[in-house]
Amino acid sequence: MKPPVPMRAATLAAIALLAGCSMMPAYERPATPVPADWPYPAATGTPAAQPAWEAFFGDERVRQLIATALRNNRDLRVAVLNIEQARAQYDIRRADRFPTVGVAVAGSRTPTAGGGTASAYTAGLAFTAWEIDLFGRIASLSEAALAQYLATEEGRRAAQTSLVAAVANNWLALLADEELIALTRQTLATREESLRLTQLRFEHGVASELDFRQAQSLAEGARATLSQLHRQRALDQNALALLLGQPLPADFKADPGMASVTLPDVPAGTPSEVLVRRPDVRQAEQQLIAANANIGAARAAFFPRISLTAGVGTASGELSGLFKGGSWGWTLAPQLVQPIFDSGRNRAGLASAQVARDIAVAQYERAIQAAFREVADALAGRATLEEQLAAQRGVAQAEAARLRLAELRYNAGISSFLDLLDAQRSLFAARQAVVQARLLQLQNQVLLYKALGGGWEPPG
């Protein structure tokens, strides 16, 4: 006897209401475990107005390199494939919330007591075991899969931001390599000329062998430095080729001259604004949300699990009568499973989910602290590298003047050749330090841009 319509409606409404229950704990974003302000002065402005990388890097050469890396870099390709895999896992979890329908066709022949055979044929639609999600177990798993998918998307953005910064910094390193090589070649030519003159003076008895050997040592030192710089340039080119995911273009050339490179200053804003923008922090938060959702699934495992198996179709003892009138029917088989004794499996599962959530909280807080440290380091560099570069240029100017005076004093016979060689050595070191300080300043600006979240949206 079928229940009256109002009772059936009430039953369905109750099931729908129960299906909306959730055992997930309410998510609360952990407090930010960093100071409210940066420890170093930051440029004022709105962080959200940061330029895209195309605008931040004005040199067309580096923009082309970055675009090539975004197309071909294998690490970035893995990050994109991880997104596709996470999306597929989410689709699987979401599909668990709906019944699976299939076509079922079967036939059998069994012997009878009279020595004959009995035939049975069935055909129809089968609804496989469908779990009614009364306590939100499947919904929690679906929520966790969605958060993991969003985390992989943020992971891709973080990988893209890091890739842009790595390509730019490697390009700047190549510019510095070329500038140092040009400086060293010029120094080597000067020292070889000085060595030639000193050798002539030594052969004519005007200079001592000590002067000759000191000049020879300086020339060989410059030659060794030049070889070292050629090796460093080759290593930097190999590193850039790895970032690009392909060999360097045939027409690629890093012309020396970092003085022509200008990068805009970016406002830092407050730490809380940076956390909203950094993709790696958002990735850690999505992983925390997924761990929180898994607790709901672990809690729901303590409650009954109800599943329905149903079918509708036709049955007949003869194949020819399978679709005749009167052969149609349906079946409905609900099943309820209540855990009674599981050797502590469900409790252990809940404890594991709770510990995983605590781990995710610690990882989220660690991501925030790491982000704060990266920005603070870049701000410290910005506050000091400009002064260091200016001071280093002053040192180079002073050493150039010292070399001129040393040459005058040596030619006048007032000072020794050792004073002249020492002035040459000091000037070369000072000019090298200027190039290295300028490289550090430019790379620090790139690192600050990366630390603040990149300020750009990934393609696609």
Whole-number pLDDT of residue 51: 61
438 compared with 51, residue with greater pLDDT:
438
Residue 215, pLDDT above cutoff 80 = yes
Confidence of residue 182 (pLDDT cuts 50, 70, 90): very high
- Cβ contact 417:410 at 8 Å: yes
Query: How far is Cα of residue 188 from the mean position of the Cα atoms in its chain?
Result: 43
Please write the tens of the pLDDT for every residue from 396-423.
Answer: 999 999 999 998 998 888 888 888 888 9
Say whether pLDDT at 5 is over 80: no
pLDDT confidence bin for 431, thresholds 50/70/90:
very high
Q: Is the residue at 459 inside a domain?
A: no
Looking up residue 331, the CATH number of its domain turns out to be: 2.20.200.10
pLDDT of 322 above 80: no
Count of domains for the chain: 2
Find how far residue 92's CA is from the centre of its chain: 26
Mean pLDDT of all residues in 262-273: 76
Three-state SS for 131? strand
The domain containing residue 324 runs over which residues?
A: 99-132+304-337
Q: How confident is the model at residue 327 (pLDDT cuts 50, 70, 90)?
A: low
The whole model's pTM is what? Answer: 0.80
Q: Could you say which of 318, 337, 356 is where a domain stops?
A: 337
Q: How far apart are CA 258 and CA 241, in angstroms?
A: 21
Q: Residues 371, 278: contact at Cβ < 8 Å?
A: yes
Q: Given this model, what pLDDT does residue 317 score?
A: 63
- At 130 the pLDDT is 72
Between residues 265 and 291, the one the model is more confident about: 291
Residues 151 and 124 placed together within one structural domain of the fold: no
CB 185 within 8 A of CB 223: no
Nearest to 278 by CA among 356, 364, 357: 364
Q: State the pLDDT at residue 400.
A: 94
Same domain, 145 and 244: yes
**Where does the pLDDT of residue 83 fall: very low under 50, low under 70, confident under 90, or very high at 90 and above?**
confident
Task: Note the pLDDT of residue 16.
Answer: 46
Q: Give the residues across from 103 on adjacent strands.
A: 125
Taking phi first (over 0 means left), then psi (-120 to 50 degrees means alpha), and beta for anything else, what does residue 241 get?
Answer: alpha
Q: Which residue has the higher pLDDT, 228 or 26?
A: 228
Same domain, 332 and 375: no
Residue at 380 is within a domain = yes
Q: What is the chain's mean pLDDT, rounded? A: 81
CA 352, CA 331: separation in Å to the nearest integer? 40
Predicted confidence at residue 10, as pLDDT, reads: 47
Instruction: Give domain status of residue 456, yes or no.
Output: no
Other C-beta atoms within 10 Å of 332: how many?
10
Higher-pLDDT residue of 396 and 17 is 396
Residue 42 resides in a domain: yes
Give the tens place of pLDDT for each residue, 115-125: 677 777 677 77
Rounded CA separation 444/383 (Å): 11
* Average pLDDT score over residue span 101-119: 73
Q: What is the pLDDT of residue 324?
A: 66
- Give the distance from CA 434 to its chain's centroid: 33
pLDDT for 320 equals 63
The predicted structure's pLDDT at residue 17: 46
Give me the pLDDT at residue 343, please.
Answer: 81
**Per-residue pLDDT, 81:** 83
| Token pair belonging to 36 | 């409210």
CATH code where residue 397 lies? 1.20.1600.10
Out of 226-230, 266-270, 287-291, 316-320, pick the least confident: 316-320
In a domain, 460, yes or no: no
Q: Are residues 447 and 366 in the same domain?
A: yes
Q: Is 216 found in the same domain as 156?
A: yes
Which pLDDT band, with edges at 50, 70 and 90, does 241 fall under?
very high
Let me know whether 418 and 318 are in one domain.
no
* Amino acid type, 236: D
pLDDT tens sequence across 127-179? 776 777 777 788 888 888 888 888 898 888 888 888 999 999 999 999 999 99
Same structural domain, 126 and 75: no
Provide the token pair at 111: 């012997």
If asked whether residues 315 and 188 sit together in one domain, one would say: no
Query: Would 382 be classed as within a structural domain?
Result: yes
Own/partner pairs, 68-71, CB within 8 angstroms, 24+ separation: 68/244, 68/245, 68/246, 69/163, 69/164, 69/167, 69/243, 69/244, 69/245, 70/160, 70/163, 70/164, 70/459, 71/245
What does the DSSP assignment read for 36-66? SS-SS----S-GGGPPPHHHH---HHHHHHH
Strand-pair partners of 109: 119
CB-facing half-sphere around the CA of 235: CA atoms within 13 A: 8
Q: Is residue 4 included in any domain, yes or no? A: no
Whether 387 shows a pLDDT value over 80: the answer reads: yes
Q: Give the separation between CA 121 and CA 255, rounded to whole angstroms.
A: 82
212 in any annotated domain:
yes
- Tell me: do 320 and 431 sit in the same domain: no
Q: Does 126 lie in the same domain as 141? A: no
248 and 384 fall within a common domain? yes
Residues 109 and 225 in one domain: no
Distance CA 400, CA 424 (A): 8
315: closest CA among 120, 151, 453, 173? 120
